[in-house]
Structure 1
Amino acid sequence: MNQMLSPAATLSNHPLYSSSQIPRYITQTEANQLATFSQRAFFHIPVPASFSLPRAICSYGFYILAPNHWNPITQTFTRPFRFAHNRTLVIQLTQKSQTTTPRLCVKTSQPATPLEIIHIKQALRRMLRLNEDFTRFHSLHPLAARKHFGRLLRSPSLFEDIIKTITTCNVTWPNTIRMNNLLVQKIGRGDFPSPKQLAAVTESELKHLCKVGYRAKRIIKLARCIVNGSLNLSELDSPTLTTDQLYPKLLAIHGIGPYAASNLCQLLAHYDRIPIDSETHRHFCKHHNLKRPTTHKSINRLDKKIRKHYTPYAPYQFLAYWFDLWQDYEDHLDKPAHDWQPHELDAFTASNLN
């Protein structure tokens, strides 16, 4: 049987890799394959002239969550993709520099079929939002334009986006990291678990294995609704939906509340809703010299102030807000996110940032 293990146990002595350069959870076979990337599939994805891979990947907290892995030393992105018959390919993504045509370079851990290459390209285009045009947002926010800010990392699938969003609710960031690590390690066998894999476990098993607490019921119900066909997530990804149409559809999913629904809106390229939570309050109060709200009435007043503050950036209020928040994080560590070291990735708690 292929034993699941930490990459440090397999490649730490390899001349091409250190333990910080490869995914958190891979199999022994995959570890051996990672050491011979140059002998596997190799292809390119064209990108806009202003595209920056480090900025696009390290723009949103999902890049820290398994099975995503960013290497700040080599500025490379790595993650697995699962195909038919539980076949998994690990991809390594870099940006080609000094070329006349801007492009991303993709290497795979095993030879890939033409259909698998098409799937990987489509997944990466979704993750990096390569089909989106941020010209209008940049005209409203010149500083974001100068920093090539706007392409916020998301997952290869809406299902993974929903589960990751659920793991960010009512919990500290280190625990969010732990939950995703365990979901990948214990359920997904090295990749993010599929609906079928999550639908096959019980609520008590998921609580025990992945430390997700009350979220287990929500996660399993979502997975089973997808497996039995009662929920079709592709309908939510339709470009014809307005935010006012999309938001109630997201709220109708069991376990998705106002914060999660608003966050999923931006993950579906609807940027006119801000998912307000305690971190939003912390950041806004800190930078506008306001007292933190303590009552429902004062919370509602603050929420209105936050929405009003970002109204000039409509319909990109979330992007403007996230630019401010992410800049705060980078200022806190005095370096851009793509240079953050592994030991710094769980530093974003209110006690550290106040």
Structure 2
Amino acid sequence: MELKLALGECSSSFDMEKAVCNHGFFMMSPNIWIPSTRSLRRPLRLADSRRSVSVTISHPPDYPFLVIQVQDSLSSADEAAILEQVGRMLRISSKDERYVREFQTMHSSAKEKGFGRIFRSPSFFEDAVKSLLLCNCGWKRTLDMARALCELQPEIALDNENGHLKRKRSKRKPSSSNSSESIQNFPSWKEMVSWPWVNAAYLEKRCNLGYRAASILQLATMFAQGKLEEDEITKTEQSFDPTISESLYQKLLEIKGFGPFICSNIMMCVGFYQRIPSDTETIRHLKQVYGKENCSKNTIAKDIVEIYEKYNPFQCLVYWMELIEEYESKSGKLSELDSFNYHLVTGSLFRDKEVNRIVSNA
């Protein structure tokens, strides 16, 4: 089955490759970027949010729409759900197009490079969890944790489908043959809170998540309790008002393990670019690119304001564009990398052992 998502006003600025391959999220499961066809494959949720279907998204040259190949036939509600998720991932909206044009007007080299859309996930929950997975670890482990959560998802879905039946749970991971029988998607918050085996200790051990397991479950619980609401987050994503985004930022900070770096990365995914996710990589970047030799965790906030404030409200877009340019000058185009080598990218770019999350921010 083939669906079409009209680009509309986004037609003139949209480039599939550049819209996808500009953030480490595109390398993380369950996303699969196919360099030979410049297409993206992954599972997406159907309208009931329980079932998933594998899709392949491409943009034929000069077509005013995206082509979405779906393995199964869909209801009209399912089609609408798929189109909405694709539009979110690739930022096909009036707000995103307005921001692209404003940013490229402000920063002329951005237009030359076709930069302005930062890739994100089909759901806020996936963005938030993946932002958490970026923190305090090497890039290989980040990739491994995302993959492990996707491998666990069919088991969570099956347990929920069985109505919390008290059946013996296998301690081993599903075999590859079992995994192929169901689509491995990223877990949703609804699956997490409904899971009969929901337990931070088990989740931590099964997916090697460390402290992140408890944080993920707390995030899911906030949705279940109504402290975070999907409709309100959607309205925030569509808004131009920075005070609305600030409210969401403060709520996220209440989650144990969600510090300023993680929450700033999430806000970037939401579509507010005033906050730059700052970590050791940011310090390295300012030292090497801007000559801020004395930059440290104590001065980074001041240094960022000094360098990027003039680009308000697109500070983060400028920073990200600089990172992408820097990475690709050393490793080649990210869109052409073999997926088997994704875990090597950090080490191949910079040898500083203290900087171990470089592509986590790309």
TM-score range, shorter chain: 0.7 to 0.9
Q: Is the 8 A contact 1:188 1:194 kept in 2?
A: no
Q: Is the 8 A contact 2:43 2:55 kept in 1?
A: yes
Please give the TM-score of this superposition, normalised by the length of structure 2: 0.80
Q: Is the 8 A contact 2:287 2:293 kept in 1?
A: yes
Q: CA deviation at 1:182?
A: 0.4
Equivalent-residue separation in structure 2 for 1:268 and 1:163 (angstroms): 13
Report the secondary structure of 1:92's partner residue: strand
Q: Is the 8 A contact 2:41 2:56 kept in 1?
A: yes
Equivalent-residue separation in structure 2 for 1:150 and 1:74 (angstroms): 22
1:281 to 272, 275, 283: 283
Establish whether residue 144 from structure 1 lines up as the match of residue 110 from structure 2.
yes
Report the secondary structure of 1:156's partner residue: coil
Q: Which amino acid aligns with 1:48?
A: S
> What percentage of aligned pairs have identical amino acids?
31
Q: Is the 8 A contact 2:133 2:142 kept in 1?
A: yes
Q: 1:302 to 1:48 in 2, by over 3 A?
A: same
Q: Is the 8 A contact 2:45 2:82 kept in 1?
A: no
Q: CA deviation at 1:246?
A: 3.5
Q: Per-residue CA shift, 1:54-112, capped at 9, x if unaligned? A: 1001111110111111011221101101233843211111102144xx22111101111
Aligned position for 1:67:
30
Structure 1 window deviating more from structure 2 (65-74 vs 241-250): it is: 241-250
Aligned position for 1:7:
none
Report the secondary structure of 1:178's partner residue: helix
Gap regions ≥5 residues in structure 2: 156-183, 352-362
Aligned position for 2:168:
none
Aligned position for 1:106:
68
Q: Name which structure has the greater RCO, CA cutoff 8 Å, separation 6+.
A: 2
Report the secondary structure of 1:346's partner residue: helix
Establish whether residue 346 from structure 1 lines up as the match of residue 348 from structure 2.
no
Aligned position for 2:255:
253
Aligned position for 2:121:
155
Q: Is the 8 A contact 1:45 1:105 kept in 2?
A: no
Q: 1:214 to 1:73 in 2, by over 3 A?
A: same
Aligned position for 2:179:
none
Aligned position for 2:86:
124
Give the number of equivalent residue pairs. Answer: 308
Q: Per-residue CA shift, 1:105-150, capped at 9, x if unaligned? A: 1110111111111111111111111111211111111111111101
Q: Which amino acid aligns with 1:331?
A: S
Please give the TM-score of this superposition, normalised by the length of structure 1: 0.81
Q: Which amino acid aligns with 2:67?
A: C
Equivalent-residue separation in structure 1 for 2:286 and 2:202 (angstroms): 39
Q: CA deviation at 1:188?
A: 4.5
Report the secondary structure of 2:59's partner residue: strand
Establish whether residue 193 from structure 1 lines up as the match of residue 187 from structure 2.
yes
Equivalent-residue separation in structure 1 for 2:278 and 2:347 (angstroms): 15
Aligned position for 2:59:
95
2:6 to 39, 45, 63: 45
Q: CA deviation at 1:291?
A: 3.5
Q: Which amino acid aligns with 1:92?
A: T
Gap regions ≥5 residues in structure 1: 1-39
Q: Is the 8 A contact 2:90 2:120 kept in 1?
A: yes
Q: Which amino acid aligns with 1:76?
A: S
Equivalent-residue separation in structure 2 for 1:98 and 1:202 (angstroms): 49
In angstroms, what is the RMSD of aligned CA positions? Answer: 2.0
Equivalent-residue separation in structure 2 for 1:304 and 1:262 (angstroms): 16
2:300 to 294, 299, 302: 302
Aligned position for 1:326:
324
Q: Is the 8 A contact 2:283 2:300 kept in 1?
A: yes
Equivalent-residue separation in structure 2 for 1:112 and 1:274 (angstroms): 40
Q: Is the 8 A contact 1:188 1:197 kept in 2?
A: no
Q: CA deviation at 1:224?
A: 2.4
- The aligned runs of 1:161-176 (5 Å cut-off) are 161-176=127-142
Q: Is the 8 A contact 2:267 2:273 kept in 1?
A: yes
Q: CA deviation at 1:257?
A: 1.2
Q: Is the 8 A contact 2:204 2:210 kept in 1?
A: yes
Q: Per-residue CA shift, 1:24-51, capped at 9, x if unaligned? A: xxxxxxxxxxxxxxxx244343242221
Q: Per-residue CA shift, 1:303-339, capped at 9, x if unaligned? A: 31123111121110000000001111111112x2211
Q: Is the 8 A contact 1:59 1:153 kept in 2?
A: yes
Aligned position for 1:203:
200
